[in-house]
Chains A and B, each alone.
Chain A
Amino acid sequence: MSTPTLTPTRPDPSAPGAALTQRRSRPGELAFRVAMQSCLAVAFGVLASLLGWVLIKGWNRLDSRLWTEMPTGLTSRLDTAGVQSALVGTVWIISLVAVICLPIGVLSAIYLEEYANNTRWYNRLLELNIQNLAGVPSIIFGILGLGIIARTLGLGFTVITAAIVLSLLVLPVVIIASREAIRAVPQSIRQASYALGATKWQTVSRQVLPSAVPGIATGSILALSRAIGEAAPLLVLGAVTFITFNPDGLDSAYTALPIQIFTFIARSQSEYTELAAGAIVLLLTIVLAMNSIAIFVRNRFEKRW
């Protein structure tokens, strides 16, 4: 995103060497270029056709039944089946993840960037720990939820357990993105604020944070969208049966979209496959819309100092 482009030559600004080598035709050069280009084309092509295939497969199920009807395990009732409880469950979980994860993530980022002395071993350990957590497989977080949150803390297989586990899972994403956004605010802004007599927290809360909002928002939306698509930790947390009611509280049993899709896939009848495809289109629409908003916010609102 940040390649410096200095060359004034209009026709092909990305190829400063082009003018020099134009004389001789080099078949190897062209072949290499085409090969690199086709790598990207193959990647896009395969993904686009797969997503297109899902759309076609689920086309018959893409109507209001999807969100007005409940899932069912009975093949005879499949005509009037949807994923309402899963959709509502996902909304519940994601709202809770936003409430739990975003404040903790942003506050951690503020601590690491503005308050922590990063020559101290404990602050460096904290940083390494966050980087490592970002790479821990999601199913391990499911095991954490199973062993500690559901059993030892006794919260059981409920909406709140799922929300806590997914919050911890995407916390590193929020922290890392918020740190980058905070770091990008120039030091001069802080110094000007201090010079006017502001305290540390006044400077952070009134100067640094408002400037960092676009970056933080981007990271937060990406984190929430990842939490929406995660199925593995919920699988360990026992969310696999057909739930035909919407959650009505933090201690309610639940199902969520990716888990519901998994249970449809596990059934062999082709009606379930279609229903799974329809639900996937719904899930993808939500996730890709959120990611697009995040990338748009980053590209449009991010300040360049």
Chain B
Amino acid sequence: MTTSTRSAGSAAGNTLRRGRRRPVESIVQVLLVAAALVSIVTTVGIIIALANPTIEFFQQVSIVEFFTGTSWTPTFLQKAYGVLPLVSATIVVTVIALVIAVPIGLGSAIYLAEYAKPGTRKVLKPVVELLAGVPTVVYGFVALFALNPLLQKWWPTENGPGFQNLLIAGIAMGIMIVPTIASISEDAMSSVPRSLREGAYALASTKMQVSTRVVVPAAISGIVAAVVLGISRAVGETMIVTIAGGLTSDRVVFNPLEGAATMTAFIANISSGDIPVGSLDYDSVFAVGALLFLITFALNAVSIRMVRRFREVYE
């Protein structure tokens, strides 16, 4: 560094003609490339970590059984490896979470982007972002000890929700992803150019018409990206479903008042216990992990594409 400073006078010409070797510059370049490669190594590492045990798993369990079996009981004496119970529980929780988070998140975003005064917005937007940082173990805790007792107390019929159930896990997860959906779709709505709104006002549209028929359609790819990201977070969320969602996986459960293990809850439960390395149970963790990785990979690809589209149009 010091040598290059001292000879700064002649440096410009040198850079143009690439005459002098500058060791610092080339060392830095190597360091930068090495740092950038860490993320590639991470992805490769994830794929290798998942692939080997998954291949071993499928040498003992047929793919058909894995994808069509309706019982997942690796810890029972009568072992069965059908992944459908885990998938169905994941779907039930995700749907409940979306039913709650999409309307509330979008409504909040519309209010922040279109109605709130700049001063109010300047205060509220950071608060929304702050809430997105609440650790998920906290949501699991309040779901189990605060929300579920309330739900059980207020439940109108006899057969109310159990101690752990998919409904309460879904509700807590919905509350968890509201800030994410609100924050990202608000960004998308704010980046819709003002001229579009003014054009609509010039045609005598009301504020509601501008919001619902101009701003939301114009920001739709950003909003879809926010929702897809919400789905991806819900599918991959672990702590809430492990704490409040239940453990049943020997049959497909669609009733949200019952407890059932999601893919992530199964991984968390079984791998936090003592399982011998190389056993089929150990491998099953990785097989479910591989499926989870593929699902979220597809969701992320959709989300990335959508975000790119709305950037292309308006920025």
Contact = CB atoms under 8 A, between A and B. Distances in A.
Pairing of A with B: yes
Contact of A126 (B36, B48, B107): B36
B59 interface: no
A3 B205 contact: no
Contacts of A232: 136, 238-239, 264, 268
Contacts of B197: 16
Given A4-B194, A139-B238, A222 B50 contact: no
B77 interface: no
Contacts of A198: 8, 11
A279 to B, nearest CB: 10
Contact of B146 (A50, A108, A202): A50
A200 B25 contact: yes
Interface residues of A, number: 109
B236 A136 contact: yes
Interface string B227-250: 001001001111100110000000
Interface string A263-290: 0010000000100110010011001100
Nearest to A204: B28
B113 A236 contact: no
Nearest to A283: B135
A30 to B, nearest CB: 9
A135 B137 CA distance: 19
Contact of B32 (A54, A111, A171, A288): A111
A209 B232 CA distance: 33
A151 B137 contact: no
Contact of A47 (B114, B131, B194, B208): B131
B210 interface: yes
Nearest to A18: B207
Which of the listed residues A6, A29, A128, A262 has the most CB atoms from chain B within 10 Å of its own CB? Answer: A262
Contacts of B194: 3-4, 6
Interface stretch (A66-74, A142-150, A181-189): A142-150
Given A232-B239, A288-B130, A292-B130, A139 B264 contact: yes
Interface string A289-302: 00110010001000
A44 B127 contact: yes
Given A172-B39, A199-B22, A284 B50 contact: no
Interface stretch (A32-40, A91-99, A246-254): A32-40
B206 A21 contact: yes
Given A29-B206, A144-B49, A40 B111 contact: yes
A107 B36 contact: yes
B304 A132 contact: yes
Contacts of A115: 29, 32
Interface stretch (B79-87, B253-261, B290-298): B290-298
B159 interface: no
B204 interface: yes
B286 interface: yes
Contact of B4 (A126, A199, A235, A265): A199
B43 A299 contact: no
A231 interface: yes
A197 interface: yes
Contacts of B63: none
A216 interface: no
B11 A197 contact: yes
Contacts of A215: none
Contacts of A287: 133-135
B170 interface: no
B304 A291 contact: no
Shortest beta-carbon contacts, A-B, top 7: A137-B236, A39-B107, A229-B135, A147-B49, A107-B35, A232-B238, A135-B300
Interface of A: 1-6, 12-18, 20-21, 26, 28-29, 32-33, 35-40, 42-44, 46-47, 50-51, 53-54, 57, 103-105, 107-108, 110-112, 115-116, 126, 128-144, 146-148, 151, 168, 171-172, 175, 194-202, 222, 225-226, 228-232, 235-236, 238, 240, 258, 261-262, 265, 273, 276-277, 280, 283-284, 287-288, 291-292, 295, 299
19 contacts: A13-B117, A40-B107, A42-B104, A44-B131, A112-B36, A130-B39, A135-B229, A135-B300, A137-B293, A139-B238, A140-B293, A142-B271, A143-B267, A148-B48, A197-B11, A232-B239, A232-B268, A287-B135, A291-B130
